[in-house]
Amino acid sequence: MQQWRAAASNVPATLATPTDPRCDYIDFIAAKAAQWGADQELESCCEWLSELPQQGEWFANELRSARRPKPPSLKDRALQLVDLIGNKKQAANSGDWDTIRRALEQLSDD
């Protein structure tokens, strides 16, 4: 809770309303609490699955991967943008070029 309070104090007041200026803070804490509860439920399910006699651990890992996928890496996002822009499926904007530039900056010069 202390971590959530500290993080909530840095949330911009975009959700605040004239009747309740704390709305952004409350929404942030509520979202964190909901995420924590969902994570606890997922881990309980994975623990139960992992105890199954055949391939339980595999099912638990698959469930965890499906429910909490890792965001694509910078490299993967840049490659996807290059594909979309190159095939004219998407017009490039400054954010797209920034993503591609940051991915290229991570490459070594060797």
What does the pLDDT look like over 56-95, one tens digit per residue? 999 999 999 999 999 999 999 999 999 999 888 888 888 8
| Alpha-carbon span 34 to 17, nearest angstrom | 22
Overall pTM surpassing 0.95 (yes/no): no
What does the pLDDT look like over 26-44, one tens digit per residue? 788 888 899 999 999 999 9
Q: Identify whether the C-beta of residue 28 lies closer than 8 Å to the C-beta of residue 11.
A: yes
Query: Backbone phi, then psi, for 40, in 5-degree steps?
Result: -65, -45
Quote the Cα angle for 17-39-26, to 5°.
15
**Residue 23: which pLDDT band, with cuts at 50, 70 and 90?**
low
Q: Identify whether the C-beta of residue 17 lies closer than 8 Å to the C-beta of residue 23.
A: yes
Higher pLDDT, 22 or 65: 65
